[in-house]
Structure 1
Amino acid sequence: MTDTAMTTEAIKQEERQSKIRANLKARHAAEKRFRSYGLVAIGAALLALSTLFFTIISNGASALFQTEVRMTIQLDSTLDPETMRAGDYQILIKKSLRDMFPDVARRDRKDLYAVVSNGAWYELLNHVQANPDLVGQTIEIWLPAADDVDMLMKGYIDRELPESDRRVNDQQIAWIDALVANDAIEKKFNTRLFTSGDSREPELAGFAGAAVGSFYTLLVTLALSFPIGVAAAVYLEEFAPKNKWTDLIEVNINNLAAVPSIVFGLLGLALFLNWFGLPRSAPLVGGMVLTLMTLPTIIIASRASLKSVPPSIREAALGMGASRLQVVGHHVLPLALPGMLTGTIIGMAQALGETAPLLMIGMVAFIADIPGGPTDPATVMPVQIYLWADSPERAFVERTSAAIMALLAFLIAMNLSAVLLRKRFERRW
């Protein structure tokens, strides 16, 4: 009888152990599946990110080079660089083209003139005005080719297509081939992309004006949002009484962080432009609008940084006789500052990529000049990308991708600096 009971107990024990082993096996299998799902998700994200970067870089790399034509310009000694008009420079360029191809019939001259950019006269003007001693001489100068010629040289226009299906006709291709044979046309590094403002002609367009506009806009945003955000966080966390009013303020700050950015643009339009009468399409107004948008982010990050400071720091300072203001100013705030700076940089990076609120205050206007200050009309990089992406010319596609590359590089640099600041100054308790 005893042997039978022991055998039954052993069987039950073996069954329990079998169930435990089966459960462990199932849990280990589930853990492996979960780990595999995570690896697949990370792989898919990396693949999507790599595809995005590859597409942008492959489209934008060609914008770093621009096709230029070597021209021989005769500057008559009777010319006055200060009084010459745009038409005078255009006449000089057209005469040079006719000298290069003297057999071109009058009816074909319009197509010949279209080989060189319509804005090439501006480059010639700047060159002559910068070197007035060239008047009376015959000079050689490289001038930008038209955007269609540039696209042909870069392979974006197929020569094999029927003439009616491409923007460059057979006669123009023959002239371009003649220029290539004489080493009078080639691709050079496109400095205009980094030094020029916007232009209707894609071969002359650059994002320097938008970059400077973004700089002034972020400068205004930083000058306003950082001190106001830090001051609000310090007050709410260190000095404000805990009651229903401060609870209401905290809830509203958290809610403002989730408000669509275009709402802040509407607020800026109504408040800064219509009520205060500030200049439209100016970095000053853009910075003020972006300040409203980034303040909740900075306040929330700053409060979290203040909360991370151990209470023992405050208690020790108070025990040594420091006032509440001295405790915050001399001890708590310096220790929380790295986290505050990190939150500020992340908020600024978010502001740099915003478009919708700036469209509402007129920063979508065509601005050809590089702004000289926060009150001058300007646009910003995201808006410039939006404008170029909406342009029908094929040459603007590569410039759009190049501007995206520059914007992404700056955003990555800002986020990297936030990480480095935290690693450099963060103290673990």
Structure 2
Amino acid sequence: MNKLASSRPKTIDLINASLPKRHLSEKLFRSIGLISIMMGLMFLFMLFYGIVSKGYTAFQQTFIQLEINFDEQLLDPGGTRHRDVLSTADYSGLVKASLSKMFPDVADRNEKRLLYSLVSTGATYQLRKMVMDKPALIGQTQLVWVPADDEVDMLIKGHVIRDVPETERRLRDVQISWLDQLEVKEKLALKLNTAFFTNGDSREPELAGIWGALMGSIYTLIVTLILSFPMGVATAIYLEEFAPQNKWTDLIEVNINNLAAVPSIIFGLLGLAVFINFMSFPRSAPLVGGLVLAFMTLPTIIIASRGALKSVPPSIREAALGVGASAMQTVYFHVLPLAIPGILTGTIIGMARALGETAPLLMIGMVAFIVNIPSNIFDPATVLPVQIFLWADSPERAFVERTSAAIMVLLGFLFVMNALAIILRKKFERRW
């Protein structure tokens, strides 16, 4: 009997024998986790590097300095200085006259057309604005920096290779020689592209900006916040603090959780069917976009708010009720202030998600080409993600950098909103 017992392996021996294998499995698991994290960071770095490397040049624009003679015979032959006359004057003639003066040897009609195409059509609008703002310029001569054409801009920034055969690029050899002469005379320079931040959309890449889409996003988010925040918090308070536990409450909770997982395009179809087709709200308006995004954001705010309310210790409620506070006073003065950090965090995250949505807004017509800057929630508008979608589909090479730059701006807003959520939680959070 003793021999049989002694021949059996002891438990400690079995454990010791299995330790190397367990340690190896643990090291393997940790190595796989570390490799996964490193790969994720590598792909994230590649993504950001690709966006930044393509988009940072959009924050600069190539300008050409022209000596503009604001000729009265071209702008206001009658000398009336009437705004209607000044607004319809031949400002393109001023640009052509300046270029012809700089390159007097260009006499051929086709060469003149190539010469004039070096300057963006936005130069005429710039000169028009200058004269409309200050009619006293008429009759004077001034040096003015005007935007260059997008193909010139791409060449100066190095996105177009000048050494390839002429048939493989849009700029002709003679145009490149003119640009070289301008560069030698220091009349060609890269400057801050303020138009990218102040203009609306445009068919011309050098004139396209994000301000219209940004204002559309701001108006849309304002409508979304006004509708979803109070409704979501009120719903969460009722379900968590006052609603009886029965099958109807359970049904509501299940549907709220399901709505949080519904694809966003479904909310776009809802907005198209109800707000536009049935209620005849204006298409492409931030009002409709805000209504759609409010429905999409509402489940997220409700779930986050309920989680924040649950995190408040029951002793807070019991203490308030014990000193004679009503149920409403307990929630309003004691529970809600302690839950506010979590509620705000959930709301900001929900709004950040709404800021990056595209699919539901495409369904309600916010994909339209909008040039004018919206001034209220009823004006036609687009939003930043849809603007990125439109530019990404444009064939011009200059829109590639505009697309990446707009993505950088959008990511910047998302980072700010998420950082704000973290700061608010850290500032107001209480540990129990």
TM-score (normalised: structure 1): 0.96
- Find the counterpart in structure 2 of residue 127 from structure 1: 130
1:384 matches 2:395: no
Counting matched residue pairs gives 424
Alignment partner for residue 91 of structure 1, among 93, 98, 109? 93
| Inter-CA distance 210–250: structure 2 relative to 1 (3 Å threshold) | same
**Equivalent in the alignment of 2:262:** 259
CA contact 1:313–1:332 (8 Å) conserved in 2: yes
Matched letter for residue 305 of structure 1: A
| Corresponding residue of 1:297 | 300
Q: Is the CA contact 1:367–1:378 (under 8 Å) kept in the aligned structure 2?
A: yes
Q: Give the corresponding residue for 1:57.
A: 52
CA distance in 2 between counterparts of 1:257 and 1:21 reads 50
Q: Residues of 2 paired with 1:422 and 1:119: CA distance?
A: 47
Alignment of 1:177-216 (within 5 A): 177-216=180-219
Q: Which residue number corresponds to residue 228 of structure 1? A: 231
Tell which deviates more after alignment, 87-96 or 219-228: 87-96
> C-alpha displacement at 1:268, in angstroms?
0.6
**2-side partners of 1:127 and 1:42: how far apart?**
55
**In structure 1, what is the equivalent of residue 40 of structure 2?**
45
Q: How far apart in 1 are the matches of 2:303 and 2:378?
A: 30
Q: Which residue pairs with 1:408 in the alignment?
A: 411
Which segment drifts farther, 247-256 or 80-89?
80-89
Q: Deviations over 1:26-60 (max 9, x none)?
A: 22221111111111111011001100111100000
Structure 1 residues 63, 47: closer, same or farther in 2, change over 3 A? same
Separation in 1 of the partners of 2:46 and 2:89? Answer: 47
Q: Deviation string for 1:191-240 (max 9, x for gaps)? A: 11111111110001110111111111111111110000000111111111
For structure 2, the residue ranges without an aligned partner over 5 or more in a row are none
- Secondary structure of the residue aligned to 2:186 is coil
Q: Distance in 2 between matches of 1:151 and 1:84?
A: 33
Partners of 1:262 and 1:282 in 2: how far apart?
17
Matched, 1:30 2:25: yes
What's the secondary structure of 1:222's corresponding residue? helix
User: Aligned pair 1:286/2:289, yes or no?
Assistant: yes
1:272: how far off? 1.1
Deviation at 1:119, TM superposition (A): 2.2
Determine helix, strand or coil for the equivalent of 2:143.
Answer: strand
In the TM superposition, residue 87 of structure 1 has moved relative to its aligned partner by 5.9
Q: CA RMSD in A?
A: 1.5
Q: What is the letter of the counterpart of residue 31 of structure 2?
A: S
Residue identity matched to 2:65:
R
What is the distance in 1 between the residues matched to 2:17 and 2:411? 51
Give the whole-Å Cα distance in 1 for the aligned partners of 2:303 and 2:47.
Answer: 31
Aligned counterpart, 1:71: 66
- Tell me whether 158-167 or 78-87 shows the greater mean CA deviation: 78-87
CA contact (8 A) 2:86 2:131 kept: no
Please, which moves more after superposition, 39-48 or 102-111? 102-111
Following superposition, the deviation at residue 106 of structure 1 comes to: 2.1
CA distance in 1, matches of 2:263, 2:408: 25
Counterpart amino acid of residue 201 in structure 1: E
C-alpha distance in 1, partners of 2:150/2:48? Answer: 25
Amino acid corresponding to residue 264 of structure 1 in structure 2: F
Question: What letter is aligned with 2:361?
Answer: L
Structure 1 contact 268–361 (Cα < 8 Å) conserved: yes
**How far apart are residue 128 of structure 1 and its match?**
1.9
Give the equivalent residue in structure 1 for 2:102: 100
Percentage of pairs with the same residue = 62
Give the secondary-structure state (helix, strand or coil) at the position aligned to 1:68.
strand
**Structure 1 regions of 5+ residues with no counterpart?**
none
Deviation at 1:11, TM superposition (A): 5.5
Measured after TM superposition, the shift of residue 9 of structure 1 is: 5.0
Q: Kindly state the Cα deviation for residue 107 of structure 1 after the two structures are TM-superposed.
A: 2.7
Question: 2 CA distance for matches of 1:174 and 1:46?
Answer: 45
Question: Is the deviation greater in 98-107 or in 250-259?
Answer: 98-107
**Matched position secondary structure for 2:63:** strand
